[in-house]
Structure 1
Amino acid sequence: MPKTVTAIAATRTVSATDLVLRWLVAPLVALLLLVPAIRAETITAHGISTFGQLKYPADYPHLDYVNPDAPKGGEISVWAFGSFDSMNPYSIKGRSGGLASVFFESLLSDTSDEIGSSYGLLAESLEYPEDRSWVIFNIRPEAKFSDGSPVTAEDVRFSYETFLTKGLNSFRAQLSKKVKAAEVLGPNQIKFTFNEGIPTRDLPQDVGGLPVFSKAHYIENGLDLEESSLTPMLGSGPYVLDRMEIGETLVYRRNPDYWGVNVPLMVGRNNFDRIRIEYYADYNAAFEGFKGGSYTFRNEASSKIWATSYDFPSVQNGTVVKAEIPHGSKATGQAFIFNLRREKFQDPRVREAIGLMFNFEWSNETLFYGLYDRVNSFWDNSTLAATGTPSAAELALLEPLKDMLPEGVLTDEPVSQHVSSSSRQLDRKALRTASALLDEAGWIVGDDGMRRNAKGELLEVSFLNDSQTFNRLINPLVENLKRLGVAAEHEFIDNAQMTNRERPPAYDFDIVTGFMSTSYIPGTELRQYYGSETADSSTFNKAGLADPAVDALIEEIINATTQEEMNTAISALDRVLRAMRPWIPQWNKNAHTVAYYDMYEYPDPLPPFALGNLDFWWYNAEKAEKLKASGALK
């Protein structure tokens, strides 16, 4: 009998019991074999959300908050402070021109009516497993740079690799830890594989949000991301550089051949033919320029000007629209920031005492016409700000760190700023409290009325400033500090010096106004603003904050897999940061205060998280002609 027949015959001798077991076990084995396949299932989508679902389906025609029929044309012009000497926004050298990043697009882009969602821009789709350990981007075949050359996977990889070694430290510090490999799989397909042992929740969006520029143009023109340059890199964005007067004027022109005009994410956007930026060295001069029609849109930041100066004829006759437009955005984190690298600021009692001398209530009533609210939280004007005493979930994160935490974090409500009397510049109660704090910290008042430590060193505090509009805020604060016995001064410098002194490696300041920023779904960028590893290298960690408890809570936020876990960790971090007092928080307003010549229109309502005047507003040609005929515009 042939061998094969013998084998078959042998299988027929299996017992009935064995057969029953086989019938029972086989389906289970098959199911178990399927489990890895299910877990490794690849998701293909038009976008990605950190938590939950995307708002917009794959076949969405346009964003809800745009006018898809908005006309294209006209010019909008704004002002900028100081000057510029570079068109490279990714170098620490030089001061880049306003909107210098407008040339560049990314594989993914977010929207202004969602939190934590990104949709394909250069990428028509992305593929990733449930654990997000890697991501593949499929680049739209129609995507083009502004010179008409195609955007390829090689351009994406080259941009990523360039950011990995050059330019702002914030890019390279994080990219090197996140990405294991960037592989070109085809002309329009690139795969990013992430390092093991790190949270992957945000990584597809992190790499998908990197600016993409042309490899060929970069090499052919001898560009260097590290260096200041007036030759911009070539991008794929809807605007190109039209005209430049160094340090004075920038004009961007809408590319009539922009490849992405029909991409759903871009429909109804980029409506102006030109965006012009006029530079002014003086805030008041800039306002006079607006009154005279030298530029046409002003987002007013001066409460004094807003309250007292918008009575000029063009406002009275309706040529200029003055409007307060509500928004839902959280506070910007604007604050006086201590340079914690300086020994005199190591003691939190010193920082608290100095902060007590800022009388916000008097400033708001006397200088700001009651326009602002005081900021207390790093997530102010949002549901993420810490409130009340710590919850049980927060305590589970904070108690293991108790030996590293400031006093009261585990038991008290979060630190809020002192509420001073608005009736006088110097609040006497705040002065007494601050004086006691400095006495405890060893800064004693001498016969000359000045405070010195045991070494005989004066407590000297300098506020570095390059904006004349802040003079009226800083000068009273300096006067109050002098009454406290602090050798305080206001050091006014030009913006070029400011750029050099507040950035690494110099960090040459005591206190500077800046932004201690946060986001609604924070990720690894928290390390750039508040992490120990960036204390002496990041442009954004101006305070030089380096604290192990903060580092631990940052990792809890990054590792959170649900919205609830993340919110709890954010609240805990907010408590700790507020208790550490690395800042003197300033103010916030919950509305855009804008003025513009009556030739612009916008969707109503606006989305909660953007004003969008350069994005999805549009130009009314008929109204513009009437303004020009009247002589209201130059």
Structure 2
Amino acid sequence: MRSEFFRLFRAGLCAMILAGTASQTLGAPAHGIAMYGDPALPPDFVSLPYANPDAPKGGRVVTGNVGGFDSLNPFILRGSPPWQLGHLTHETLLGRSWDEPFTLYGLLAESVETDEARTWVEFTLREAARFSDGSPVTVEDVIWSFETLGTQGHPRYRGFWSKVGRIAQTGPRSLRLEFTEADRELALLAGLRPILQKAQWQGRDIAEAGIEDIPIGTGPYVVENYEVNRHVTLRRNPDYWGRDLPFRRGTNNFDEIRIEFFGDDTVLKEAFKAGIISYVREFNAEAWAEEYDFPAVERGEIVKSEIPHQKPSGMTGFVMNTRRAPLGDWRVREALITAFNFEYINDTLTGGRQPRITSYFSNSELGMDHGPATGRVRELLTPFADSLPPGTLEGYSLPDGDGTARNRKGLRRAMKLLSEAGWQVENGRLVNADGTPLRLTVLLQQDGLIGQASAMMDIYARALDRLGIELRIEMTDKAQYAEREANYDFDLTMMRRSLSLSPGNEQMYYWGSDGVDDPGSRNLMGMRSQAAEAMIRTILNARDREEFVAATRALDRILTAGRYVIPIHQYSVGRIAHKAQLHYPEDALPIYGDGIGFLPEVWWFEAEE
């Protein structure tokens, strides 16, 4: 009887241990992970749905960048590297599918595992994973990369690292990260940290790396040669370890990618017309319609491709620095938005072909409704009702101009708002109670890709002058612009925030108050909103898509009604002019359209017969 008792006791104890283990691990390691729900692709998928697995390998593509470079290390703060470099030469544990809102599949890691609450994540490395010099990728390399980039790397890596409580090896090819905060996105972000080779940096300070210190990566391309501020040539690694992975099938097809650098966008476009570079992206619908009729297009040597997408509009426009008076007053910001005669400016500069951004997440299901808040959105916002910008709960839409050059209706409304804020016209100048005139400075980068910005401000300055406001337009080079932007030395400046179908931690960097007055914050407008931060936390911890969508729509209301940015037009379609030998899967476009992971990643070269 005694032996039977202990047999049953041991059986019960084992059952309890197994049950506890099961509740912690939530099943077996998986081939991918999605922010919400399950990955769309099965474990045995053949290729990404927007890649052509039969695409030929070979050929050469030349792209153009505006500006210069003085670094080939995209992982540290020092220097200015080509923006494409990290995506082509280095890899992460997991890779992103651009045909799903936010889903990752195994890349350097063959599997990912986490618990239901996502308080930790574990990765198992592929045995075949190799650096470009042929050495294996080890758990030691991965842990070193997390720790080093999190403490010495570019600031964009440090926010994630601050939320890691522990990182440790758990097996010959596996490691686990444990998190200190409730944030369901962290398990995915861990899969997107770049992996570097520890041995390369033994006894050296990666943060002080020079131009010649090119980080060794695992990616399909390696740097073959370069000339500072002139060009960088990348060569496809013939021994690339991952060429047969389903995730890589049909991608990285060019033998050579060359990046040429130009002083301004006009020179870059002329180089394209002359056949020096292989493709350009055009952001002006008017230019797309009117200026691409040169002989190479007419002969069919150049093809114009339009790439639709389903992602949010994001926010492009002129951001107002609320750290500076009187821009901390929403009435002044509303007046400045009202005085910006978008309809006339858009018609003048783009032929009216590009629609205006109406909110930060417009053009997607995440965008706010413009009437009163209802349902779950209202429930989320109501606890903050006393601190919300006017119109957040009631409904807010951008003011419309009358379409004429003078926009009298808009200027009258703007003047009324300014008067309510304590500003009056004296001797043709708008002054406050102390007699101080309202002068604003808009900071623009010389030769930026959005070439219309200066022309827009010229028109806008004339409108503000009729209100008695002086608008000074200051153009600076790239280095001066970066310095002044980092120190918030502007009243208005151009801002572009691309937003995804799965917003997450980056929203806190864009709109959160932590470090808002420290140099280099990405919160350019200087907003401080407990309500916005609460919505972001709800986004990060939502267990279902309904809660996630409601929280994002609520955040969109707070941002839009905050009147922090003068929005301009959205880029509702990608426009690429390219040599006829360049091809892409036209019938299988990703939901994110053109962007990182599309060109040059899934394009290929096919010589004319």
- TM-score category of the 2 structures, normalised to the smaller one: over 0.9
1:40 maps to 2:24? yes
Task: Give yes or no for the alignment of 1:432 onto 2:415.
Answer: no
Q: C-alpha offsets along residues 4-62 of structure 1, whole Å, 9 cap, x if unaligned?
A: x9x799x9xxxxxxxxxxx9x99999987765344224431011111112111111121
1:92·1:226 contact (CA, 8 Å) conserved in 2?
A: no
Partner residue, 2:347: 365
User: Do 1:244 and 1:251's aligned partners in 2 also have CA atoms closer than 8 Å?
Assistant: yes
Taking the aligned partners of 1:259 and 1:518, their CA distance within structure 2 comes to 32
- Is the CA contact 1:170–1:539 (under 8 Å) kept in the aligned structure 2? no
Q: Is 2:96–2:105's contact at 8 Å kept on the other side of the alignment?
A: yes
Tell me the equivalent position of 1:510.
491
Deviations 1:573-623 (A, max 9, x none): 111111111111111132221111111111122222132121101001235
Hey, what does 1:116 align to over in structure 2? 102
Do structure 1's residue 453 and structure 2's residue 432 form an aligned pair? Answer: yes
AA matched with 2:154: L
Residues in 1 aligned to 2:240 and 2:123: alpha-carbon distance in whole angstroms = 21
Three-state SS of the structure 2 residue aligned to 1:497 is: helix
**1:82 paired to 2:67:** yes
Aligned position for 2:524: 542
Contact 1:218 1:234 in 2 (8 A): no
In the other structure, the counterpart of 1:379 is 361
Instruction: Kindly indicate whether the alpha-carbon contact (under 8 Å) linking 1:298 and 1:594 is maintained by their aligned counterparts in 2.
Output: yes
Task: Measure how far apart 1:377 and its partner are.
Answer: 1.1
Shift of 1:109: 1.3
Instruction: List per-residue Cα deviations over 1:329-381 (Å, max 9, x = no partner).
Output: 22132121112221321101111111122222112211102221100111121
1:104 matched to which residue of 2?
A: 90
In structure 1, C-alpha distance between the alignment counterparts of 2:269 and 2:97, rounded to whole Å:
31
- Alignment partner, residue 202 of structure 2: 219
The change in CA–CA distance for 1:26 and 1:208 in structure 2 (over 3 A counts) is closer
Cα drift, residue 186 of structure 1: 3.9
Corresponding residue for 1:523? Answer: 504
Q: Kindly, what percent of the aligned residue pairs are identical?
A: 37
Letter in 2 for 1:146: S
Query: 1:12-51 maps to which residues of 2 (within 5 A)?
Result: 35-43=19-27, 44-51=29-36
Q: Which has the larger radius of gyration?
A: 1
Q: Which amino acid aligns with 2:506?
A: E
**1:562 counterpart = 2:548:** no
Question: Residues 466, 266 of structure 1: CA spacing in aligned structure 2 closer, same or farther, 3 A cutoff?
Answer: same
Looking at structure 2, the residues matched to 531 and 8 of structure 1 have their Cα atoms a distance apart, in angstroms, of: 63
1:181 maps to: 166
Partner of 2:460: 477
For 1:70, the equivalent position in structure 2 comes to 55
**Hey, which bits of structure 1, 4+ residues long, moved more than 6 A?**
25-34
Supply the distance in 2 between the matched residues of 1:47 and 1:155 (Cα, whole angstroms): 22
Q: Secondary structure at the match of 1:184?
A: strand
Aligned length: 595
What is the 5 A alignment of 1:232-381?
Answer: 232-381=214-363
Deviation at 1:139, TM superposition (A): 0.6
Structure 1 window deviating more from structure 2 (199-208 vs 539-548): it is 539-548
Residues 1:331 and 1:280: Cα distance change in structure 2 (over 3 Å): same
The answer to whether residue 196 in structure 2 is matched with residue 210 in structure 1 is: no
Q: Give 1:248's aligned amino acid.
A: R
> Which piece of structure 1 moves more, 507-516 or 377-386?
507-516
Cα 1:467–1:274 shift into 2, 3 Å: same
Q: Is the 8 A contact 2:254 2:605 kept in 1?
A: yes
The amino acid that maps onto 1:65 is Y
Distance 1:535 1:170 in 2: 15
Match of 1:596 in 2: 578
Residue 405, structure 1, aligned to residue 388, structure 2: yes
* CA contact 2:538–2:548 (8 Å) conserved in 1: yes
Aligned partners of 1:47, 1:160: CA distance in 2, in Å?
20
SS of 1:565 mapped into structure 2: helix
Gaps of 5+ in 1: 12-22, 624-634
- 8 A Cα contact 2:358 2:398, kept in partner: yes
Residue 139 (structure 1) aligns with: 125
Q: Secondary structure at the residue paired with 1:622? A: coil
Distance 1:301 1:226, change over 3 A: farther
What TM-score, normalized by structure 1, do the two folds share? 0.89
**Alpha-carbon distance between aligned partners in 1 of 2:63 and 2:18, rounded to the nearest angstrom:** 59
Structure 1 residues 572 and 297, CA, compared in 2 at 3 Å: closer, same or farther? same
Q: Separation in 2 of the partners of 1:267 and 1:276?
A: 22
* Aligned-pair CA distance for 1:490: 0.9
The Cα shift of 1:80 comes to 1.2
Q: Is the 8 A contact 2:309 2:593 kept in 1?
A: yes
Q: Compute the displacement of 1:223 (Å).
A: 4.4
> Is 2:377 aligned against 1:394?
yes
- 1:491 CA displacement: 0.5
* RMSD (Å) for aligned C-alpha atoms: 2.4
Partner of 1:573: 555
Q: Provide structure 2 residue ranges, at least 5 long, that are not aligned to the other structure.
A: none
The yes-or-no answer on 1:462 pairing with 2:410 is no
The amino acid across from 1:354 in the alignment is L
**Matches of 2:489 and 2:239, distance apart in 1:** 46
CA separation of 1:356/1:89 partners in 2, compared to 1, >3 Å: closer, same or farther?
farther
Asked if 2 retains the 8 angstrom alpha-carbon contact of 1:154 and 1:187, the reply is no
Q: Deviations over 1:227-271 (max 9, x none)?
A: 664532111111111221211212211111111101111110000
8 Å CA contact retained: 1:169, 1:539: no
Q: Is the 8 A contact 1:88 1:225 kept in 2?
A: no
Shift of 1:225: 3.1
Cα distance change of structure 1 residues 351 and 371 upon mapping to structure 2, 3 Å threshold: same
Taking structure 1 as reference, are residues 227 and 147 closer, same or farther at Cα in structure 2, changes over 3 Å only? closer
